[in-house]
Amino acid sequence: MISDKRSVNMGMILEVSTLILLPVFMILCAYFEIRQTALLTLTAAILANVPFFINFEKSRPKPRHILPIVVMSALATAGRILFAPIPHVKPVSAIVIVTGIAFGRRSGYLTGALTALASNMFMGQGPWTPWQMFAWGLIGYLAGVMASRNMFRYRWVVYVYGFVSGLLFGLIMDSWHIISFVSPLTWLSALAAYGAGFFFNLAHSIATVVFLVPILSPWTKKLTRIKSKFGLDLPGW
């Protein structure tokens, strides 16, 4: 029992450290104007996803624990493909948030990461894929953390988080693009790049809230019931 708790605590420390170190690394790359930034940031994003999959494997999940992540990832992937003709209007963030709330932070992260990886097999893979995995994974992870701390007692709080999550996703992706590809990198060029993406990110935020409104309550209740009925809890999730 003690070793299990220690393992859970170490896993969470590793996850939180990763979430902190990646943006710090990005800031340092920009500050010191490091060359070959695109390759470095791609490598960093790939490595940032690794601890979450390692912790998932260490938790020794059974098929019944894996199935909800697969199903929710499939739904989010299908939703992204279905709404592909409408830029930045996708149900992915909403589904990832609901997964994090119902099944916990790690399920939320894995659902977001796997959705980006799977859907990009249809939308197109590239150096943006690990960053989308990290961004959507982070949205699900934070939703799980906030739900575990009873911060989502009111639906409007989830809607606010959904709106903010769209901006967070845009901030991560725009920052990656700016630090990796904008040259020369100045305050003016960075602000211009952020400004160019603002309305797309705003559309993502609004769309996330619009998708959350009809699915939040019924999906969360049903998924929570399934979690309880089939014993889908894992230590540290």
Over residues 61-95, the pLDDT tens digits come to 888 889 999 999 999 999 999 999 998 899 999 99
Is pLDDT of 192 > 50?
yes
Name the band, by pLDDT with cuts 50, 70 and 90, for residue 2. Answer: very low
Half-sphere exposure of 84 (CA within 13 A, CB side): 9
pLDDT of amino acid 81: 96
**pTM of the entire structure?**
0.91
- Number of Cβ within 10 Å of residue 4's Cβ equals 11
Calculate the average pLDDT of the chain. Answer: 90
Nearest by Cα to 218 from 131, 149, 155, 126 = 155
Residues 139-164 have pLDDT tens digits of 999 999 999 999 999 999 999 999 99
What is the reported pLDDT for 202?
Answer: 97
Contact 93, 52 (CB under 8 A): no
User: Average pLDDT in the 26-41 region?
Assistant: 80
Q: What is the CATH number of domain 2-229?
A: 1.10.1760.20
Q: What is the structure's pLDDT at 221?
A: 94
For the record, the structure tokens of 179 come out as: 């630090």
